Amino acid sequence: MKLCSSPPLHLRRPFSSLFSAYFSTEINPPPFPSPSLSPHFLYLQSVLDQIKLLSRNPNNYSSLTILDSLLAKNTHLLDSATFLVLIDYLSQIKKLGRSKTIISHLKSRGCVSDSFLYSLLFDFLVKDGTINDVENVWAEICGSVKIFNFSNYVILVCKFGGVDEIKDVYERILMGSASVLERQSYVALSGALCTVNEGLLAKSIVKEMYEKGMAVDGWTYFLMFQCFCRNGDFDEADLVLRKLVKNGFVFDICIYGSFLHGLCKSGKLREAYKLFQKLIKKDPVRVSNEKGVVLKEGRRAIFQLNCEGVVPEMMAYESYFRALCSAGKLDEAELLLKKMMRGRILPEICVYGSFVKALIRAGRDKDAMKFFNVQKKKGLVRVDEIGRHVIIGLCEKGKADDALRVFEEIVMVNGFVGGSDVCNSILDSYWKENRVVEAELFFERWRLNKGKYGRPNVMSYTIMLNGYCSHNDVSKALVVFDEMLKSKMVVNGALYESLIRGLCDSGLVNEAFRYLNDMIENGHLLFCKRWRALFQSIMSMDEHHGLISFEAVKTL
């Protein structure tokens, strides 16, 4: 991976000082920069000088002429990250034609992905327009060859976007004129909204699909049902469930389990127990759930369904047990577990794991260890499988030493299959406890064990890099990052973000900006709003680094 070029360290000037000079409150421009600066920064300063003047007076003809001249020649001196600064500020002062010209230039260079360029239109240039407006501008930039479109952008946001990006897409679609949106994009958006627990917004998308004559499949309804159950909105969940019944959806433990978990989480334990009893009842009241059945109003649909033979008894027990554990009802869960054992029902490992984690979460570490030791003696489950839950639970409680002790005992006696995730939990716990020396020693020992219980993976190096950045040791973080690149590990945007913020905290703003450019040009930054947040981080450093507020810059 090749980083963008930059001047030698002894010639560098903090990037923030350029902004301090050219976005200051002084009317007169600052003195011409020292000739020791590289051509890259000399050119950048000239551009920022005109942006400063235009921020005060967007119709300054002289500044516009000079800026056009600067953008028309020597653009090879500007990297992608700096181009984004220009696009952002030109969009803010409504110089959209010039912003579009820069985006066209970026596209022709091929250094920035189409998805990121599209997000620039979506969030900056045409942020108040309809989707059709965005598509029209995109068509002007792409010409006759337009492979990427809004439907592609929606699916990308649904896969990799955060809550803000997903909601932005949702709000823009409801503005209307989204004639270019395909059915699979509506389906993806509905699912993404459910994933972030925005069930009512997903319901609006489904309504939009109906109005456009698009079919809504059972999977879309199922995700909405799960979302409403998680949120404790059982009235909405019931309405969706009736749709599923009407469409002949095949009901299984996923439906009943989701409702059980939701009921327990919301404290509706009596209703949860009633549903559990229905699931294990040998001769339930026969009410068909076949397509076309009419369900009565005033009673939850799930209690009117015939679940005979649909859910195996063991699954019913396990689902109810895990629901009780997730709600912290450990006494009820323990009684149910004993009942399962007496009935010769051998639970899966997930049941033991749920109980162990719930005990530790409730501060009952000794009871969790006692339960673990009893199960070890019984030999009904693999020691490393149940031990995994003990170790991870202890790490979550900030007890890395206890977790390590349990881990070493298991490795010594029984061995440990696929122990990388467990080691990552121990490593992460040491960092969270601010025990840097122990984290380093554990990581080094792990690397030298020659794969006895797994090797450090991408997550292991990520934990180390984040740990160093959080402790303001960015030099070691850079060593970890370089080692990942040399080992051809897959790095991602989150790693870049952590490294960039670490560099900023150390006052190395030039280097942070270099990595920001590398992040963009290597496709690790998908959406421009995330770029703005990172740029804000670069521009909002402490005064002792000589930096200024990004908000102050924006208001000039």
Residue that has been written with the tokens 């300063």 in this structure? 45
What is the SS3 string spanning 355-366? HHHHHHHCCCHH
pLDDT per residue over 205-232, tens digit each? 999 999 888 999 999 999 999 999 999 9
pTM of the shown model: 0.81
Residue 403 lies in a domain: yes
Q: What percent of the residues of the chain are helix, what percent strand, and what percent coil, each to the nearest 5?
A: 70, 0, 30
Residue 89 lies in a domain: no
Residue 334 lies in a domain: no
pLDDT reported for residue 68: 79
Residue 479 lies in a domain: no
Instruction: Give residue 412's domain range.
Output: 382-445
Residue 390 lies in a domain: yes
DSSP characters over 219-270: HHHHHHHHHHHHTT-HHHHHHHHHHHHHTTPPP-HHHHHHHHHHHHHTT-HH
pLDDT per residue over 295-328, tens digit each? 888 889 999 888 777 788 889 999 999 999 999 9
Contacts of residue 159, defined as CB under 8 A and 6 or more positions apart, other chains included, come to: 188
Instruction: Name residue 274's amino acid.
Output: K
The phi, psi pair for 264, rounded to 5°, reads: -65, -45
pLDDT per residue over 234-257, tens digit each? 999 999 999 998 888 888 889 999
Question: Rounded to whole angstroms, how far apart are CA atoms 16 and 536?
Answer: 11
- The length of the chain is 556
> What Å distances lie between residue 218 and 186, 189, 224, 235, 483, CA to CA?
14, 15, 10, 19, 46
How much is the average pLDDT of 374-392? Answer: 88
Residue 409 lies in a domain: yes
Question: Rounded to whole angstroms, how far apart are CA atoms 527 and 535?
Answer: 13
Buried b / exposed e over 504-530, threshold 16 CB at 10 Å, is bbbbbbbbbbbbbbbbbbbebbbbbbb
pLDDT reported for residue 346: 75
Average of per-residue pLDDT values in the chain: 82
Domain total in the chain: 1
pLDDT per residue over 31-41, tens digit each? 333 334 446 55
Residue 517 lies in a domain: no
pLDDT of residue 376 exceeding 90: no
Residue 344 lies in a domain: no
DSSP characters over 287-347: ---STTPPPPSSS-GGGGS--TTTS-HHHHHHHHHHHHHHTT-HHHHHHHHHHHHHTT---
How much is the average pLDDT of 135-158? Answer: 88
pLDDT per residue over 334-366, tens digit each? 999 888 888 777 778 888 899 999 999 999 999
In sequence order, the β-bridge partners of residue 452 are: 454
Buried b / exposed e over 369-401, threshold 16 CB at 10 Å, is bebbeebbeeeebebbbbbbbbbbbbbbbebbe
Task: Yes or no: say if 38 and 7 are a contact pair by the CB < 8 Å rule.
Answer: yes
pLDDT of residue 22 exceeding 50: no
- Which of 182-196, 282-296, 364-378, 489-503 has the weakest average pLDDT? 282-296
